[in-house]
Amino acid sequence: MGTGVLTNLQLTPDALMDTLAESLDGVMILNKNRNVVFYNKACERMLGYTREEVSGESTYCYQLFECQDEQGRPLTGKSCISSQIFDGQVGGARQRVLLRHKDGRRTWAEVVFSPLKDAAGKLELVMAVMRDINQVKQRENETRESAEAIRKQLQRYQAELAQKYGFDQIVASMESMRNSLDKARAACQSDLPVLIAGEAGTGKTTFAKMIHYHSARQNQPFVTGSCSAVEPGALEATLFGSPSHARGAPVGWVNEAAGGTLYLQDLESLPARLQLMLAQAIQNRAAGTSQNCEKALPDLRLIASTRHSADMAMYNGALRPELLYAINVIHISLPPLRERTEDIPLLVQHFLDRCNRMGARQVKHIAPRAWSLLLAYDWPGNVRELQHAVESTYAIGKGDTLRAEDLPGTIRGEELALPGIDETIPATSLDEILEHAERRAILAALRRARGRRNLAAKLMNISRSRLYRRMEALTIVPPKGK
């Protein structure tokens, strides 16, 4: 709007002051002495003082309103914006101010300070236009309190995860397992790739989560991807995401884990082409370049696991050497439970204590026969199978004693439905006669051991691995579905 239009409106000073007097925003005008020379009705409503109460040469604004900034600092003397304008330090300003109401309560206002000059350009007055923001501040405080509550809840959640996957939750006394724990602790201090090798049930996922939740990335995502659980044709999109932006297109594990940790299970199940692609992505990320890489790798920590020895997987052709060398920076090998027999009593008591804390039943004793069965079993499912066995026995049992008859049937020797020894099986050659005799001897030993292969091997005075090989060769295997 041009000045000519304003002139045509014939806005006289009196008309302008009348307009300011009726403004919905509070308008206060101060002179150099900080006396109030103008004070409208909105100010009266906002601050509780009448125009007569704030006027006069002996009345100063800072005595009436006691201004504070958002940090709680008093806005007096050189801290007052109007004083800074009169001193020439600032030409104008906008500030949130906490003012004291006449009745003593505090009220929030956003104030715009503007200099008022005479026709000669001399600064004479400062105008403060105030808008009530009490509701705005209330909403901000509520938002801040909600954010703080969420932050504290997240901290509690992170603390619970750190405790759940704490190193003290791993029960181990044997040196091999203690060495694995030491490597995991060291892995928490860096972002280097980690390869964890171990049979199913040995605790590979637990170790991966321990490393993540005790690392600098503990507040970032932890994404688990099983390479053996996805169809080979869908693995590339599942791993790296789909280039399509259509709704429902796979985001990809690597993108979901950005900033955090990606844990790839059964790495040897990844097709050879994708293994090479992943190896190149890891190497290029380490070198700080994306050249010659079909897929980009975001900022993440990579942990992978194999069910068998990584070297054996490479020699068998299941794992490409390029990927093994790229990811096998920190190598952690988890021994099977059959090689940690000294840890079985500690693990049984650990899982039993957990059951006692969570359940109504309190088991204080373990029957000798139950101990014998637990120690004689070879635990093909490793620690996970032992944990489920203790939990199952606790759930179905009664009283304060863990009894042998409550243990799962496989542990009690019911896994093998052993046939009787047939004396009439025909033999037409020496090899068949020897094979028949060997089968009869193994079945007899298994019957005496009630299906416990460890004990059967001892009864036959052969190694456990040899017994397994001969059982496989002679097709002496547990019936499926049991």
The domain segmentation of the chain, as residue ranges, is 15-132, 165-194+206-333, 338-412, 417-482
pLDDT in tens, 322-370: 999 999 999 999 999 988 888 888 899 999 998 998 888 899 998 888 8
pLDDT in tens, 32-72: 888 998 999 999 999 999 988 888 888 888 778 888 888 88
Three-state secondary structure along the chain? Answer: CCHHHHHHHCCCHHHHHHHHHCCCCEEEEECCCCCEEEECHHHHHHHCCCHHHHECCCCCHHHHHCCECCCCCECCHHHCHHHHHHCCCCCCEEEEEEEECCCCCEEEEEEEEEEEECCCCCEEEEEEEEEECHHHHHHHHHHHHHHHHHHHHHHHHHHHHHHHCCHHHCCCCCHHHHHHHHHHHHHCCCCCCEEEECCCCCCHHHHHHHHHHCCCCCCCCEEEEECCCCCHHHHHHHHHCCCCCCCCCCCCHHHHCCCCEEEEECHHHCCHHHHHHHHHHHHHHHHCCCCCCCCCCCCCEEEEEECCCHHHHHHCCCCCHHHHHHHCCEEEECCCHHHCHHHHHHHHHHHHHHHHHHCCCCCCEECHHHHHHHHHCCCCCHHHHHHHHHHHHHHHCCCCEECHHHCCHHHHCCCCCCCCCCCCCCCCCHHHHHHHHHHHHHHHHHHHCCCCHHHHHHHHCCCHHHHHHHHHHCCCCCCCCC
pLDDT of residue 270: 92
pLDDT of residue 295: 64
Hey, what CATH topology would domain 417-482 get? Arc Repressor Mutant, subunit A (1.10.10)
Please state which CATH number belongs to domain 15-132. 3.30.450.20
Give the position of tokens 């059959």: 338
Query: Does residue 162 have a pLDDT over 90?
Result: no
pLDDT of residue 415: 47
**In terms of pTM, does the model score above 0.85?**
no
Average pLDDT of span 70-99: 89
pLDDT of residue 433: 66
pLDDT category, 388, cuts 50, 70, 90? very high
Evaluate whether the domain defined by 165-194+206-333 bears CATH number 3.40.50.300. yes
For residue 337 the two structure tokens come to 């439970």
Distance CA 170, CA 360 (A): 25
User: 417-482: same fold as 165-194+206-333?
Assistant: no
pLDDT of residue 418: 46
Average pLDDT, the chain: 84
pLDDT category, 8, cuts 50, 70, 90? low
Class of domain 338-412: mainly alpha
